[in-house]
Structure 1
Amino acid sequence: MRRRLIPLTLSLGLAGLVLAGCAVTTQATTTSQATTSTTELISDVDPAIPQAAAELLAANADGTVVTDDEWSLADAVSITLSGNTASTDAEGVDISGSTVTVTSAGVYRLSGELAGQVVVDAPDDALVVLVLDDATISAVNGAAIQVVGADDVAVNLAGGTTNSVTASTSSEDEASAAIYADTDLTISGTGSLSVTDTGNDGISATDDLAVIGGTITVEAADDGLRGKDSLVISAGAITVTAGGDALKSDQTDDAARGYVWITGGTLEATAGDDGIDAQTDAIITGGTIELAADDDGIHSETALAIAGGSITISRSYEGIESADIRIAGGATEVNSSDDGLNASGNTSSGAAGGGGMSDSGETLTISDGTLLVNADGDGLDSNGTIEMTGGTVTVYGPTAQNNGALDSNGGITVSGGVLVAIGSSGMAESPEESSPQGWLAASANGSAGSTVEISDASGAVIASYTATKTFASVVFSSSDVTDGESYTVAVDGSTTTVTAGQAAAGGMGQGGGGRR
């Protein structure tokens, strides 16, 4: 069987599958109807990907994609859509009433309007490319585009064209999305595509779903984009409005599948559930992402790494949630009505979601990048440990006393970077006394708009912040702080003198734990 594998050590370039400095072995495979196929084996890890993310990528199965250089538009045969039927001179296409069925490998150009369905039912070794060239497909019953059988299928959006696919499927349907593939599916091209499903999912593949180009708008009653084995996005401009999850991968039978990987493109998503939901890992190494979600902004059951790109979670219940959260690059902003980042749900803890104050093994690690958190619940929360070795983290935490800007069950360690946490005092937590980098904690009151200045014993200002809400606690750590020395925390001119390495009175102190 022909497979085009995307090894997860690539930083993508999915459209080219070329990585300078990596050993590449190309194996030719069978071709049919002027299509070509290659399998790329990448032996080296791209050094541009931080180790925190590269470890997760290496642990997952390779994905599959149909790149644009694997087929030629010159080989395309035309299918003209016309109302309740269609016409073509091509072999390998059956037209029965309003159903157009592609039965052979090849490249097929679809144009016009069809009130019906396009079906791909080709041999198991077939590569089928559907080029949408100003095509409008509106399904009366079931999916508008349904892939029953093939090896791989690509939907290519012809440059300069506007295309539309609409349906109203049900979760009970065999094909439960406007575009549904019981195979690997790739969306590519430079044209535009509007997908609407008023009953269930927008675009769904039971294997791998890859988006490597196009301007794509999806409106779905349930999930927007769903790749059961994996969902990989490397390019394109994607807008999703979903009643369920905006992006989803939900394979539960294989620990190396069920992942979401975003390495490029732009994504703007509004979700009635999670913005991004991965059964195993969620990995972001590039792209510009804007999420507004009624539940989690980004959620994964196993591990979650942000190692590049620009991410804004403008609305969420919990911003980022996983048992293993790794911030290793990029610029991330989180706004949440509960916890900003929540390391919880470790299955070994015996109770998903945590609870109590014991260390249940979850980890939140920050090694690089910038992170801004505005949380009504805990800012940084871990049922296990929080470790920071680099990067810049600013937390504007809760105003309520039953949460804290920092909250861990297993302790907080800072050995590098810049950390400031401004929030309420009732559950305020500080780094461990053994934390390698100096830190200070102060009971200092202020309100939204207040200026917080931190000065050393000589009076030199080493940090300054403008608060976004009412607060009563400030925790700060940087290489400019030396344990045992005195520092002044000034809020709108009112000063508090503290000794670095000593927790403020009234909080939870060091490793104090907190609420979930």
Structure 2
Amino acid sequence: MRRRLIPLALPLALAGLVLAGCAVTAQPTGSSTQAAETSVAETVSDVDETIPAAAAELLAANADGTVVNDDEWSLSDAETITLTGSSASSDSAGVTVDGATVTITAAGVYRLSGTLDGQVVVAAPDDAQVVLVLDDATIASTSGAAIQVVTADDVAIDLAAGSTNTVTAASSADAEASAAIYADSDLTVSGSGALSVTDTGNDGISATDDLAIIGGTITVDAADDALRGKDSLVVKDGTLTLTAGGDALKSDQTDDAAKGYVWIAGGTVDATATDDGIDAQSDAVITGGTVSLATEDDGIHSETALAITGGDVTISRSYEGLESADIRIAGGTTRVTSSDDGVNASGSTSSSGGMGGGGMQDTGETITISGGTLMIDANGDGLDSNGTITMTGGDVTVLGPTAQNNGALDSNGGIDVSGGTLVAIGSTGMAESPDESSAQGWLAATASGSAGSTVEIQDATGTVIATYTATKTFGSVVFTSAAITDGQSYTVTVDGSATSVTAGVAASGGMGMGGGGMGGGRP
């Protein structure tokens, strides 16, 4: 059977969660494909508490991925392939050379060094594990993929310590192998060396099954997607610099609802994309790492659910920052800058018109904030849900729109707050407040200011509860925290101009009346 492993070196409990009921094989050191099976029977209750339930639930529902870990093979077993420009040489029985095409036909570990103006092809048995160690290798192809896996079970590209490697290609969209590095198998990229990948016609690194990045300093410049794992894309470690004419990180399996997910668990990602920064057919999950995204479309987009429970995410440019039908913020630090909505829950199966549709009715989408820090700078709606917005914890700052046809907060099904701290500073035309039934107190004020204005909130005794600095023109302030008590009087001061408000009473002139109905109290 195929060797299926959790794609990360996570605590056993979490590995058990994702692999419950599956058989796991431990690959012995060396090139042999024989394996011994070990049963794993942990359950959801055994999940490591460092992974919040908001992410663990999604990971449990997804298929387990595949990775070739460093301890599954030995460099001492490596056979040498010397690249010599228009050809290559090797003493290995598992290597054939035909002109500028090097073909690997057997399982094993192969060290490649030198320069090749041609292709490296893996055509090994269906159960084979093949490791390609790139050790100062330069491979360039002008007719399709530079490294192509035609057949194998699992393939790893390991970047030798201290090495600098380059792979370039001009693959086309209609080619059988449409990436500079293309694997019709599971693919793992590991090691501590450097790899530069360029494809002027299509994707950078692509796998038809699982793609895992567990190490290396990797730079990708692709005409279309930079990294694509059809069944899954997982980043555990490494330093990634991605430039994409399409999506930067993508998983797009549509035939299985448990696949098509992107999981960022560690490493550093710096991506610039013409389309989405992260695009997942099913779930997008971030539990660690540092992620910087600059995009022309969505920063992070998923068709099913999007969870951020750890790490540091900065979306410096986007059309919409975070978009999915089910958005969960439970940890980490997330900064979003968007030309339209900052966080947009849309596109559930019950809504008409797909993403961005749904009219004014509650169509079931959800934004759930239970922890972490979220900062939004949006030209459209700040927090926008075609369904509901629920906040039980965390620290959220929304610097919303200046236009009157958008609001810092916008829901079709209501806003319920029972914990955390939220400030929403934006325009007045569509200003919305939390529901009157919210367990935590809140206040709303019509108070105007401009970029650089200081917004200060005081209680009846004059004690300062919170202070914020605006970055744009505004006319509405909504605030909630554990320090606010319904029915009590508070003062919202903007650059010395004070406005008295009563907690739990919506400001006049806005859309939010704080009590159920359409959009959390829309009249």
Q: TM-score range by the shorter chain?
A: over 0.9
What do the CA deviations read for 1:108-164 (whole angstroms, capped 9, x no partner)? 000000000000000011000000000000012110000000010000000000000
Matched residue, 1:477 = 480
Q: C-alpha displacement at 1:46, in angstroms? A: 1.9
Alignment partners' CA distance in 2, 1:29 and 1:58: 24
Within a 5 Å distance, the mapping from 1:27-106 to structure 2 comes to 27-28=25-26, 33-34=31-32, 41=40, 43=42, 44-106=46-108
Letter in 1 for 2:365: E
| Contact 2:29 2:71 (C-alpha < 8 Å) held by counterparts | no
Alignment partners' CA distance in 2, 1:256 and 1:351: 24
Matching of residue 145 in structure 1 with residue 113 in structure 2? no
Q: 5+ residue gaps in structure 1?
A: none
Matched residue, 2:211 = 209
Q: CA RMSD in A?
A: 1.9
Distance 1:42 1:240, change over 3 A: farther
Matching of residue 269 in structure 1 with residue 271 in structure 2? yes
| Contact 2:377 2:398 (C-alpha < 8 Å) held by counterparts | yes
Letter in 1 for 2:61: A
Q: C-alpha displacement at 1:4, in angstroms? A: 3.4
Matching of residue 5 in structure 1 with residue 9 in structure 2? no
Alignment partners' CA distance in 2, 1:401 and 1:28: 60
Matching of residue 332 in structure 1 with residue 334 in structure 2? yes
Matched residue, 2:201 = 199
Q: 2:292 aligns with which of 287, 290, 293?
A: 290
Letter in 2 for 1:208: D
| Contact 1:222 1:244 (C-alpha < 8 Å) held by counterparts | yes
Distance 1:22 1:94, change over 3 A: closer
Matched residue, 1:466 = 469
Within a 5 Å distance, the mapping from 1:128-143 to structure 2 comes to 128-143=130-145
Within a 5 Å distance, the mapping from 1:284-433 to structure 2 comes to 284-352=286-354, 353-433=356-436
Alignment partners' CA distance in 2, 1:259 and 1:21: 17
| Secondary structure in structure 2 of the residue aligned to 1:347 | coil
Q: C-alpha displacement at 1:20, in angstroms? A: 9.4
Q: 5+ residue gaps in structure 2?
A: none
Q: C-alpha displacement at 1:13, in angstroms? A: 2.6
Matching of residue 188 in structure 1 with residue 194 in structure 2? no
Using the size of structure 2 for normalisation, the TM-score is: 0.94
Alignment partners' CA distance in 1, 2:6 and 2:281: 19
Q: C-alpha displacement at 1:403, in angstroms? A: 0.1
Alignment partners' CA distance in 2, 1:379 and 1:29: 49
Q: 2:166 aligns with which of 164, 167, 178?
A: 164
Distance 1:411 1:169, change over 3 A: same
| Secondary structure in structure 1 of the residue aligned to 2:59 | helix
Matching of residue 225 in structure 1 with residue 223 in structure 2? no
| Contact 2:408 2:427 (C-alpha < 8 Å) held by counterparts | yes
What do the CA deviations read for 1:172-208 (whole angstroms, capped 9, x no partner)? 0000000000000000000000000000000000000
Using the size of structure 1 for normalisation, the TM-score is: 0.96
Distance 1:341 1:504, change over 3 A: same
| Contact 2:131 2:155 (C-alpha < 8 Å) held by counterparts | yes
What do the CA deviations read for 1:455-513 (whole angstroms, capped 9, x no partner)? 00011010100001100000000000000000000000000000000000000023553
Alignment partners' CA distance in 2, 1:53 and 1:218: 28
| Contact 1:186 1:212 (C-alpha < 8 Å) held by counterparts | yes
Alignment partners' CA distance in 2, 1:116 and 1:38: 38
Distance 1:314 1:20, change over 3 A: closer
Q: 2:456 aligns with which of 453, 456, 466?
A: 453
Alignment partners' CA distance in 2, 1:209 and 1:37: 22
Within a 5 Å distance, the mapping from 1:100-119 to structure 2 comes to 100-119=102-121
Distance 1:187 1:27, change over 3 A: closer
| Contact 1:4 1:37 (C-alpha < 8 Å) held by counterparts | no
Q: 2:256 aligns with which of 247, 251, 254?
A: 254
Matched residue, 2:180 = 178
What do the CA deviations read for 1:274-302 (whole angstroms, capped 9, x no partner)? 00000000000000000000000000000
Aligned identity (percent) is: 74
| Secondary structure in structure 2 of the residue aligned to 1:286 | coil
| Contact 1:36 1:70 (C-alpha < 8 Å) held by counterparts | no
Q: C-alpha displacement at 1:349, in angstroms? A: 1.5
Q: C-alpha displacement at 1:21, in angstroms? A: 11
Alignment partners' CA distance in 1, 2:155 and 2:31: 14
Q: C-alpha displacement at 1:356, in angstroms? A: 1.5
Q: C-alpha displacement at 1:38, in angstroms? A: 6.3
Matching of residue 513 in structure 1 with residue 519 in structure 2? yes
